[in-house]
Chains A and B, each alone.
Chain A
Amino acid sequence: MYDWLTEHKIPLGIWLRDFVDLLTTHGQSVFDFISLVLGGLIGGFTAALLWVPPLLLIAIFALVAWLVHRSVGLVVFILGALLLVTNLGYWQATMETLSLVFCATFVCVVVGVPIGIAAAHRPWLYTGIRPILDLMQTIPTFVYLIPTLVLFGLGAVPGLISTVIFSIPAPIRLTHLGISSVPPALYEAGKAFGATKTQLLFKVELPHALPTIMAGITQCIMLSLSMVVIAALVGADGLGKPVVRALNSVNIAMGFEAGLAIVVLAIVLDRVCKRPERRSRKG
């Protein structure tokens, strides 16, 4: 019985390989196009960040943080953190990573939020996509790194795609949660005053779900950041590259510095993205 079982192996892997082959032979132009658009997006954004003198950009970041949060401590921390990164010589890599994270988050929001809304309105759709979302978050990243590499070539784009696959479930799930937790009374209030479906979405559902969606986006940023080293494996620029290089050459100093830069960037993003306190309210 055991022998029979092992001798008649189901060619799952082969099927998937054939499927990817099929995609590359027939859909290459589509993937080239996607590659071009995303590559342009990420390249453009990186170039823009690097075009600004580093110290000016650091000042701008600090100013934005001040305007949003009005916290001296946070501004001092951001200044210190970014100046440290510059001092260590990772400014360019940090900006490349920042660009990758932002582009991935942008794609996740543009694709994920509408999917989340659609899923909240159609329970069957959510039942359908839930296992896919689970799969996207649990399957080891390296596994889908290979086909993305084949389909999109080496560079920032496959890194971006892998990052999106890993982090898009967060905004989808949280958008779904936010929209489907709108209290029925608010729906009825909207309907009773003659709101159309679109008005209900923009004047009732989205405002109510906004805090949850924002939490989803923050989560998405953090998840994207956790993918920088993986993205570096397929050739994406950024802070992941020195980490990979340090690993290959057993360079403790370089690995530690690059790792520290990633951590610093993560903390800065987390603090800045955290929802500012709402206007003062009674409990």
Chain B
Amino acid sequence: MSAVEFRNIDIVFGADQKGALRLIDEGRTRDEILKATGAVLGAAGVSLSIERGEICVLMGLSGSGKSTILRAINRLNEVARGAVLVEHKGAMIDVARCDEATLRDIRMNTVSMVFQQFGLLPWRTVRDNVGFGLELRGTPAAERRRIVDEKLAMVGLTNWAEKYTNELSGGMQQRVGLARAFATDADILLMDEPFSALDPLIRDKLQDELLDLQRRIHKTIVFVSHDLDEALKLGNKIAIMEGGRIVQAGTAEDILLRPANAYVAEFVKHMNPLNVLRGTAVMRPAASLPRQGDQVVLDKSGRVKVTVDAQGRPIALDLDGRVGRLATADGEAGRIDDRLAFEADCIVAPVDLKLRAAIELKRHTDLPILLVDNLGCLAGLCDDDEIYRGLLRRLDG
């Protein structure tokens, strides 16, 4: 079930909304609309559904409309047309049309936000900043204190509770912002380029911390970023925007391997595929490998064959008549015992093995890698050729 859903929304800044909407329907560009009506197109025809517990990254250059649609989720931006549905107390509420009381309830309880420039109140201590949302909600002081302490511990700022926010470094300030957003226990978290104002090392650290937190708290996170590395690292789903429109939405692999148009292709051109691509994307699928009875042929000359059982699990290796050894590597990082690898003739690894891990395994052992799915069935083969094609992103040929 989706937690947030944009249904064909248009956002226009300026007085002449009607005129602008008419031009949007005619498919005009942002510049043409600005010239004709004086109104600025914020977003046009955006439809996107964000599932519960997912991190969805809205991605694009500045001015592409990513922040604009993010702000429509809690109505910091008004929507000219279309619906923004948010799951609130078990029902889907159209934020664009709901009354003030419902909107306030949603802002206090369901949706919270983290800002690029932190948006902290400098006259308040860290503690009072974190408790801000609770204070607006009217939570009694004792309970507020308990929750704030809990959230401060979560972001590692317990010893800083009584400091003022401008005594903190940028990274710490944004941790306060995160704690403030977590404090209201909202299910949906809006993050408007939260790490863009931080230096790269701190940014990387906070990204890791966010992923770590997400594993425990399972919020629905809508994250705006102009940094593709960040998007690919964090996002279960990525929506790429250009000129107020979504040009492609999908998984990181999808976008990297099948860019929808030249704009997206340009965007991902200089991307490092090592951390994004997984075995599934680069492997030669088991179905396309030649079979001889219950044996699957692995090399071109037909001398290396793997025997699979009735369920499709690899059970034995046949090296031109000689019995070979299989060794298993664990997890998406592809960890393997050194001695085991030394004696083996072929590696068996999970299919969601990352390309980086596959290369590491290959370098370490110089053995072909068999990929198996989570039931242990043979899913495909990943050898030099597959890895090179993955690096070059030439997977179709």
- Residue positions of A touching B, CB distance < 8 A: 185-186, 188-196, 199, 203-204, 207-208, 210, 279, 281-282
Given A185-B115, A188-B119, also A193-B184 (CB < 8 A): yes
Given A188-B76, A279-B164, A281-B164, also A193-B121 (CB < 8 A): no
- Please determine whether A192 and B76 come into contact, CB atoms closer than 8 angstroms: yes
Q: How far is the CB of B145 from chain A (nearest CB, A)?
A: 18
Task: Determine the chain B residues whose CB is within 8 A of the CB of A192 once the complex forms.
Answer: 74, 76, 107, 111-113, 119, 190
Q: How far is the CB of A99 from chain B (nearest CB, A)?
A: 32
Of the A-B pairs whose beta carbons lie under 8 Å apart in the complex, a sample of 21, sorted by A's number, is: A185-B115, A188-B76, A188-B113, A189-B115, A189-B121, A189-B132, A190-B136, A191-B107, A192-B111, A193-B113, A193-B136, A194-B104, A194-B105, A194-B107, A194-B133, A194-B136, A194-B137, A203-B135, A207-B124, A208-B123, A281-B167
Query: In the complex, which residues 123-145 of chain B have their Cβ closer than 8 Å to any Cβ of chain A?
Result: 123-124, 132-133, 135-137
- Please determine whether B112 and A193 come into contact, CB atoms closer than 8 angstroms: yes
How distant is the Cα of A122 from the Cα of B28 in the complex, in angstroms? 35
- Please determine whether A189 and B164 come into contact, CB atoms closer than 8 angstroms: no
- The residue in chain B whose Cβ has the minimal distance to the Cβ of A200 is B136
Task: Determine the chain B residues whose CB is within 8 A of the CB of A195 once the complex forms.
Answer: 136
Chain B residue total in the interface (Cβ 8 A): 30
- Please determine whether A207 and B107 come into contact, CB atoms closer than 8 angstroms: no
CB < 8 Å neighbour of A203 from B74, B107, B136, B164: B136
How distant is the Cα of A189 from the Cα of B113 in the complex, in angstroms? 8
CB < 8 Å neighbour of B107 from A193, A210, A281: A193
Task: Determine the chain A residues whose CB is within 8 A of the CB of B136 once the complex forms.
Answer: 190, 193-195, 199, 203
Interface centre among B108, B118, B136 (most CB of A within 10 A): B136
Task: Determine the chain B residues whose CB is within 8 A of the CB of A191 once the complex forms.
Answer: 76, 107
Given A194-B133, A194-B136, A203-B135, also A189-B119 (CB < 8 A): yes
- The residue in chain A whose Cβ has the minimal distance to the Cβ of B133 is A193
How distant is the Cα of A194 from the Cα of B102 in the complex, in angstroms? 10
Task: Determine the chain A residues whose CB is within 8 A of the CB of B113 once the complex forms.
Answer: 188-189, 192-193
How distant is the Cα of A204 from the Cα of B164 in the complex, in angstroms? 16
Main secondary structure of the interface of A (DSSP, over half): helix
- Please determine whether B76 and A193 come into contact, CB atoms closer than 8 angstroms: no
Task: Determine the chain A residues whose CB is within 8 A of the CB of B107 once the complex forms.
Answer: 191-194
How distant is the Cα of A132 from the Cα of B261 in the complex, in angstroms? 60
Q: How far is the CB of B83 from chain A (nearest CB, A)?
A: 20
Task: Determine the chain A residues whose CB is within 8 A of the CB of B135 once the complex forms.
Answer: 203
Interface centre among B74, B107, B119, B120 (most CB of A within 10 A): B119
Task: Determine the chain B residues whose CB is within 8 A of the CB of A199 once the complex forms.
Answer: 136
Given A193-B108, A194-B105, also A185-B117 (CB < 8 A): yes
**B166 contacts partner chain A, Cβ-Cβ < 8 Å:** yes
CB < 8 Å neighbour of B121 from A186, A281, A282: A186
How distant is the Cα of A186 from the Cα of B136 in the complex, in angstroms? 14
How distant is the Cα of A49 from the Cα of B76 in the complex, in angstroms? 52
- Please determine whether B121 and A207 come into contact, CB atoms closer than 8 angstroms: yes
Complex A-B, nearest 3 residue pairs according to Cβ-Cβ distance, in ascending order: A189-B119, A194-B108, A194-B107
Task: Determine the chain B residues whose CB is within 8 A of the CB of A188 once the complex forms.
Answer: 76, 113, 115, 119
- The residue in chain A whose Cβ has the minimal distance to the Cβ of B177 is A189
Q: How far is the CB of B141 from chain A (nearest CB, A)?
A: 15
- Please determine whether B121 and A196 come into contact, CB atoms closer than 8 angstroms: no
- The residue in chain B whose Cβ has the minimal distance to the Cβ of A195 is B136
How distant is the Cα of A210 from the Cα of B124 in the complex, in angstroms? 13
- The residue in chain A whose Cβ has the minimal distance to the Cβ of B104 is A194
- Please determine whether A204 and B121 come into contact, CB atoms closer than 8 angstroms: yes
CB < 8 Å neighbour of B167 from A186, A190, A204, A282: A282
How distant is the Cα of A186 from the Cα of B115 in the complex, in angstroms? 10
- Please determine whether A196 and B104 come into contact, CB atoms closer than 8 angstroms: yes
How distant is the Cα of A194 from the Cα of B195 in the complex, in angstroms? 24
- Please determine whether A186 and B108 come into contact, CB atoms closer than 8 angstroms: no
Q: How far is the CB of A141 from chain B (nearest CB, A)?
A: 38
Given A186-B121, A196-B104, also A282-B166 (CB < 8 A): yes
Task: Determine the chain B residues whose CB is within 8 A of the CB of A281 once the complex forms.
Answer: 164, 166-167
> Quick one: CB contact mask for B181-193 with A, threshold 8 Å, 1 for yes?
0001000001000
- The residue in chain A whose Cβ has the minimal distance to the Cβ of B124 is A207
- The residue in chain A whose Cβ has the minimal distance to the Cβ of B100 is A196
How distant is the Cα of A185 from the Cα of B112 in the complex, in angstroms? 14
Q: How far is the CB of B98 from chain A (nearest CB, A)?
A: 13
How distant is the Cα of A281 from the Cα of B125 in the complex, in angstroms? 12
Query: In the complex, which residues 5-55 of chain B have their Cβ closer than 8 Å to any Cβ of chain A?
Result: none
How distant is the Cα of A199 from the Cα of B104 in the complex, in angstroms? 12
Interface centre among A190, A196, A204, A210 (most CB of B within 10 A): A190
How distant is the Cα of A195 from the Cα of B133 in the complex, in angstroms? 8
